[in-house]
Amino acid sequence: MFSLDQHLGGGDVAASVITSASGPSGQLPLTDEILRSWSSGDLFGLTQNAGMGWDPARMMGPQYLCLSTQGGVRDHDGTPIALGYHTGHWEVGLLVQAAAEQFSEAGGVPFAAFCSDPCDGRSQGTNGMFDSLPYRNDAAIVMRRLIRSLPRRRGVLGVATCDKGLPAMMLAVCGTKHLPSVIVPGGVTLPPTVGEDAGKVQTIGARYSQGEISLEQAGLEGCRACGSPGGGCQFLGTAATSQVVAEAMGLTVPHAALAPSGQPIWLDIARQSARSLMALDARGLTLADIVTDDSIYNAMLVHAACGGSTNLLLHIPAVAQAAGLRSPTVDDWHQVNKLVARFVDVLPNGPVGHPTVRLFLAGGVPEIMWHLRELGLLRGDAMTVAGASWNEILDAWPQSARRDALRQRLIESDRVDPDDVIIPPATAKKRGLTSTVCFPQGNLCPEGSVIKSTSIDPSVVGEDGVYRKAGPARVFVSERDAIAAIKGNHPRPVQAGDVVVLIGRGPLGSGMEETYQITSALKFLPWGKHVALVTDARFSGVSTGACIGHVGPEALAGGPIGRVQDGDQIEVVVDRIGLHGSVNLVGTADKSLTPVEAETLLASRSPHPQLAVDAKMPDDSRLWAALQQVGGGTWSGCVYDVEKIIATLDAGTKALQEKASD
């Protein structure tokens, strides 16, 4: 308990204050040329280095920045002194330390800076989700400012793990592509030996409310879901997909994504990454040589092969924009997914749903890309931060000791055939695995929408590979009300057969929140597969089911989804093989409508009476929503297009001036 008397009465502590100190011994290794040509800031930086205890004799080595998303404070033995937000940034300081030691051993001068990240799992269903997607842009800005604020850095080692921190890191290093940079993925946490994974455990509230589990079981499962203290979650959500995509782009050393956090192989990746960065620096190679249109294309191929998170449809275009490249369009995504059906079996996708560490053991990204090359799809001349092209890496991969040892380890430890995790594509096709994403259109989403079609429960899909759903709309303007109705804590609970329509949750309404609280509940409730969800919000990477998101235009931008009423008949059709789909209003509560009648009705209706910007949406996120809207909105990756924003502000200022002079 704080005591003012104790605080002000601490005379002994106050009396111990000293007012000067001798300072570091030795002298800076300055030369006439340095003093005449270096800026005062560069010179003062040396003074600061000495002040922090760096040996002056080692002061002039090349400077490398280790930029990470570290969070929390750990004791020397790893026990928590102050918690981080999530396991994904809890141990990454160990990666920074391993890399820094490598730089130092080679005569370099390592620096470390931190820009921590939030946990999307922690903020699900809370107002914290209003800051989730906006954080990515803000963090990328902060990271780029940190990079530029170390003027003599020779390169950047970016260490990050999770949903927004890793995409932000990719934006940051690609936005400073004149430098050599290497990304070190933070890896994954292990699944519990006995218990539920970190995706399923997020549904304990919904399952308990519906009587599916006991209070004791909920407490037990909630406690033991994370098998180890560090790393991203055990499923191929946005965190794991971002790691995979970063490697596919060539931003990491080979076979870096999804390594088990805290283990020797994980630390070795950091050391190898530091060596790779110094080698790039020595050769004069930068990210401009690595991140190209071909590397973006390869990342899209790997995303499709994995069945990755739909959030990467926001992040990959943003990375391309940061690198000054052409951003992939919806048509580009469609074409890639027509070419590549999923052949990776990892949570949350089936048929088995292996944890992500098994994907690493089965060969990870190199194994996937080897299959893609065999299919004739990979752009193998794309360079990587290893200083080698993908073709050179893949020529060596099948015979490598690393591949053999890890695949054998998977067989011995988990009794799992690696080819049942990364399935040869021809075999995957025979097992019924389909393409990852589809982009339905219709009178409720004239600009399009997104569904992770591979995640629809096969039992509700027709023999022809088409999901068909028609049912009454249950309209909600807040996720809180929707989840209450799904849990049964509502005057009108959601029932099998309903189509949940969640509106006003796009960028303008809530910062485009994730709605995994809803999608996870529907997955793990027995009747949930008979409910569809249509929303202008987005989904967590671990979401499954008939969940249609990114509906455009969003309700608050005048989209017709904002005019749906309770009881309207909604029809959803998703062809998982042909990759076509539609989401349409086909009737009211009283009668069926022709397509023309439906269009006319939607045009004549007023928006839902409760449709509004969420009253608790922070001004920071409102500003983000306005800026990204000018930059092209959701389909352009929610980016800031500086030239368009400036032009829009100039036009607005001119219009206001003309209005004032009238």
Tokens of 137: 């842009």
pLDDT at 542: 74
pLDDT at 662: 80
Separation between Cα atoms, residue 260 and residue 2, nearest integer Å:
42
Task: Answer whether residue 145 shows pLDDT above 90.
Answer: yes
pLDDT tens figures, 22-36: 999 999 999 999 999
- pLDDT > 70 in the chain, percent: 100
pLDDT at 232: 96
pLDDT at 543: 78
pLDDT at 79: 95
From 378, 420, 427, 369, select the one nearest 398 (Cα to Cα).
369
Separation between Cα atoms, residue 245 and residue 308, nearest integer Å:
9
pLDDT at 562: 97
pLDDT tens figures, 289-299: 999 999 999 99
Task: Answer whether residue 329 shows pLDDT above 90.
Answer: yes
Q: Taking the mean position of all CA atoms in its chain, how far away is CA 590?
A: 43
Arithmetic mean of pLDDT, 154-165: 97
CB 452 within 8 A of CB 307: yes
pLDDT at 468: 95
Does the predicted model carry a pTM greater than 0.85? Answer: yes
Active site residue ranges: 540
Task: Tell the residue number behind the tokens 């904002």, with chain if given.
Answer: 562
SS3 532: strand
pLDDT at 13: 84
The 10 Å Cβ neighbour count of residue 101 is 14
Separation between Cα atoms, residue 391 and residue 383, nearest integer Å:
9
More reliable by pLDDT, 11 or 143: 143
Q: Which residues of 489-508 are buried (b: 16+ CB within 10 A; e: fewer)?
A: eeeeebeeebbbbbbbbbbb
pLDDT tens figures, 358-372: 999 999 999 999 999
Separation between Cα atoms, residue 1 and residue 263, nearest integer Å:
40
- 182: confidence class by pLDDT, cuts 50, 70, 90: very high
From 312, 347, 346, 308, select the one nearest 423 (Cα to Cα).
346
Arithmetic mean of pLDDT, 392-401: 98
Tokens of 481: 């009300």
Percentages (nearest 5) of helix, strand, coil residues in the chain = 45, 15, 40
From 572, 541, 551, 450, select the one nearest 503 (Cα to Cα).
551
Task: Answer whether residue 436 shows pLDDT above 90.
Answer: no
More reliable by pLDDT, 83 or 544: 83
Task: Answer whether residue 355 shows pLDDT above 90.
Answer: yes
DSSP letters of 123-171?
HTTSGGGGGHHHHHHHHHHHHHHHHHTSTTEEEEEEEE-STTHHHHHHH
Weakest-pLDDT range from 3-7, 239-243, 405-409, 415-419 = 3-7
Question: Over the chain, what is the mean pLDDT?
Answer: 95
pLDDT at 538: 92
pLDDT at 14: 85
- Packing angle of the helix pair 479-487, 516-524 (nearest 10 deg): 10
pLDDT tens figures, 533-577: 999 999 887 777 789 999 999 999 999 999 999 999 999 999 999
Tokens of 559: 């989209």
**On the CB side of 180, how many CA atoms lie within 13 Å of its CA?**
24
Task: Answer whether residue 203 shows pLDDT above 90.
Answer: no
More reliable by pLDDT, 201 or 377: 377
pLDDT at 650: 95
Q: How much is the CA Rg of the chain, to the nearest whole Å?
A: 26
- 637: confidence class by pLDDT, cuts 50, 70, 90: very high
- 487: confidence class by pLDDT, cuts 50, 70, 90: confident
More reliable by pLDDT, 525 or 55: 55
pLDDT at 517: 84
Task: Answer whether residue 198 shows pLDDT above 80.
Answer: yes
What is the edge-to-edge ordering of all strands in the sheet holding 499-502? 448-451, 547-552, 532-535, 499-502, 466-476, 569-575, 580-587
Task: Answer whether residue 600 shows pLDDT above 80.
Answer: yes
pLDDT at 87: 95
Beta bridge partners, 116, equal none
Task: Answer whether residue 348 shows pLDDT above 80.
Answer: yes
From 129, 88, 115, select the one nearest 172 (Cα to Cα).
115
Tokens of 347: 């949570």
